Amino acid sequence: MVHQQRSQPRLSPTGDTEDMATVLAPRLAYFAGVARTEHVTRAAQEMNVPQSTLSRAMVRLERDLGVDLFARRGRTVSLTPAGRSFLTSVERALAEIERAAEEVRADADPATGKVAFGFLHTMGAETVPGLLQAFRADHPRVRFSLVQNHGEAMLEGLRAGELDLCLTSPVPDAPDLVARRLDEQKLRLVVPADHRLATRRRVRLAEAAEETFVSLEPGYGLRRITDDLCSRAGFRPRVAFEGEEAETLRGLVAAGLGVALLPPPTVPRPGVVELTVTAPRAVREIGVAWPAGRPDTPPVAAFKRFLLSRRGNLLP
């Protein structure tokens, strides 16, 4: 069968061909309805739109495509081969749109919605599980998408819309983010069990000025805090090993490869001694951050209120 060629897709006022998806999208559901019933009047009644609106939409759709989609016999229509091929793709696209709509509605549901929540690796073993357990006592069906990462990566996740909120340290100060301090966590100087300082309980950080350090990689919040504390103690740390996870650093310390400033472990680690740092005051602030100006879904708002209610009582 030879199809009559229609006019080419319309041009925008600038002379460029308009984006075809923008031109066609509003008329795809109308097309599927007419194709399903093969009757313009019946389709108009089912979709609750005027018949004249539906007829004009089909004419414009064919004009924009430049192809006949229907063979017309009065108000009865039948699909041409081109129309049948087009319908297959249109039904697939409409089903995907419906699936996406159902998904976002489900994620926003107050009782069963989803929260995309980021947190530091060091908070994953004990702090976050305890928080989620307490929150779900009152919100048992809220779902979570959990992301463990370092601070800068999580802030970028907030900006990109991949996270709703995150626990991070240091507490960020950025115009496009809102952040609230929730708690602080003491940092300890971790040394090998046979280290010269291992018999001590307390130490000034300046006493470790000549030591080799193991630390998290640049870009991690704890690395910035370590560098800052050492600077305040009057020295720049000589970092021999850089890692991505605090417990790996403890293993390096236990192997005698250096010392480290770390938050307390979930369980004691053999082979190391953890010393209280008396000067400078060695702590890291823990805060919650979220994008400024972005409206919250009900489950995100509920979890945000819960975290803010734990201010001063966040950590085990």
Burial class (CB in 10 A: 0-12, 13-18, 19+), 93: middle
Predicted pLDDT of residue 25: 76
pLDDT in tens, 250-280: 999 999 999 999 999 988 999 999 999 999 9
Q: Which residues of the chain have pLDDT under 70?
A: 1-23
d(CA 221, CA 121) in angstroms, rounded, equals 11
Output the pLDDT for position 10: 46
Burial of 41 (0-12, 13-18, 19+ CB in 10 A): middle
pLDDT digits (tens, 9 = 90+) for 184-215: 999 999 999 999 999 999 999 999 999 999 99
Q: What is the predicted pLDDT for the residue at 143?
A: 97
What is the value of pTM for the model shown?
Answer: 0.77
pLDDT value, residue 21: 63
